[in-house]
């Protein structure tokens, strides 16, 4: 009986995935996507713009943020980098995962950080289901492969829902994420690299770092694709 139920649930889940992809296909047919950078129709981020992104010089902007041993971003959040992060995060432009992760790897190479494990900044489970993926998780997996390091998304969880930081004033951001994360005991004795898409006030990274340190992580670093501020 249990086996039948499991098999029925598996079939339903496969049907759900199939139905979702048919839905996506129909939506694309009726409302074709357009490139998040140049606007050309039929692409979420076209090949020309991806080439431009790949050749965009690395800026390696670093910043000192409380509770973290080092923080850096691969460039300023404007022009093509801002468009790429938005398309990747909100418009399913997963073809950007490779070029964006390559920027992170190059930026990390410039730091003298001793990292044991890579951990993505988690989304709340509800938001991950709604979006279908966690953009920081995808970047973390590729960065970990590039550096030959383990990636452990389950070591840090978002234990309560929060409003989207991008929609809040700087002064409200810290309160919004206060106590929102919980780390697993496995982080004890490890130097952790947190991966996020954008660093704005640093509030999310600080809260993640506090949760990791509460479980005795020895060092916490943060890396992101872009930042709206210039830090050198």
CB nearer to Zn ion: pick between 35 and 168: 35
220 lies in the site for Zn ion, by CB under 5 A:
no
Biggest CA pair distance of the chain: 63
47 or 230, CB closer to Zn ion? 47
**Is the Cβ of residue 38 or residue 178 nearer to Zn ion in the bound state?**
38
The DSSP annotation for the chain comes to -HHHHHHHHHHHHHHHHHHHHHHHHHHHHHS--B-TTT--BT-SS-HHHHHHHHHSPP--EEE--TT-SEEEESSBSSHHHHHHHHHHHHS--GGGHHHHHHHHHHHHHTS----SEEEEPPPPHHHHHHHSS-HHHHHHHHHHHHHT--B-GGGEEE-S----GGGS-HHHHHHHHTT-EEE-GGGTT-EEEEEEEE-SSSHHHHHHHHHHHHTT-SEEEEEEEEBSS---
**String marking each residue 40-79 x if it binds Zn ion according to CB under 5 A:** ------x--x------------------------------
Please report how close the Cβ of residue 47 comes to Zn ion at its closest, in angstroms.
Answer: 8
Tokens read off for 170: 């700087």
User: Which is closer to Zn ion, CB of 56 or CB of 149?
Assistant: 56
Nearer to Zn ion, 52 or 176 (CB): 52
Q: Does 194 bind Zn ion (CB under 5 A)?
A: no
Please report how close the Cβ of residue 37 comes to Zn ion at its closest, in angstroms: 5
Residue with tokens 């129709």: 41
Minimum CB distance to Zn ion, residue 172 (Å): 34
Closer to Zn ion by CB, 58 or 80: give it.
Answer: 80
Question: Exactly one of 7, 14, 35, 186 binds Zn ion (CB under 5 A); which one?
Answer: 35
Residue from 2, 5, 37, 172 in contact with Zn ion (CB under 5 A): 37
Q: Minimum distance from CB of 95 to Zn ion (Å)?
A: 11
How many residues are listed for the chain in this entry? 232
| Contact call for residue 38 and Zn ion (CB under 5 A) | yes
Closer CB to Zn ion, 49 or 199, in the complex: 49
Name the strand (E) or helix (H) holding 175.
helix 170-177
**Cβ at position 41, least distance to Zn ion in Å:** 10
Q: Are strands 181-183 and 156-158 parallel, antiparallel or unpaired?
A: antiparallel
Q: How far is the CB of 99 from Zn ion (least distance, A)?
A: 13
Residues that bind Zn ion (CB under 5 A): 35, 37-38, 46, 49
């Amino acid at each position: 009986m249990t086996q039948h139920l499991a098999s029925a649930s598996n079939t339903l889940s496969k049907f759900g995935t199939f139905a979702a992809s048919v839905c996506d296909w129909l939506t694309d047919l009726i409302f074709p996507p357009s490139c998040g950078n140049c606007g050309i129709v039929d692409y979420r981020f076209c090949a020309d713009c991806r080439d431009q992104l790949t050749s965009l010089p690395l800026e390696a902007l670093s910043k000192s943020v409380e509770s973290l041993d080092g923080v850096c971003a691969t460039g300023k959040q404007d022009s093509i980098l801002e468009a790429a992060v938005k398309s990747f995060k909100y418009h399913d432009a997963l073809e950007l995962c490779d070029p964006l992760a390559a920027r992170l790897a190059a930026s990390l190479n410039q730091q003298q950080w001793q990292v044991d494990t890579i951990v993505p900044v988690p989304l709340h489970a509800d938001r991950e289901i709604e979006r279908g993926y966690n953009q920081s998780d995808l970047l973390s997996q590729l960065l970990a492969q590039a550096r030959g390091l383990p990636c452990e998304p389950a070591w840090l969880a978002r234990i309560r829902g929060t409003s989207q930081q991008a929609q809040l004033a700087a002064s409200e951001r810290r309160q919004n994420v206060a106590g929102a994360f919980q780390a697993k005991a496995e982080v004890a004795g490890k130097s952790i690299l947190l991966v996020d898409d954008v660093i704005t006030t640093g509030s999310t990274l600080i809260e993640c770092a506090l949760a990791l340190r509460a479980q005795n992580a020895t060092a916490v670093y943060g890396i992101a694709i872009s930042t709206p501020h210039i830090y050198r």
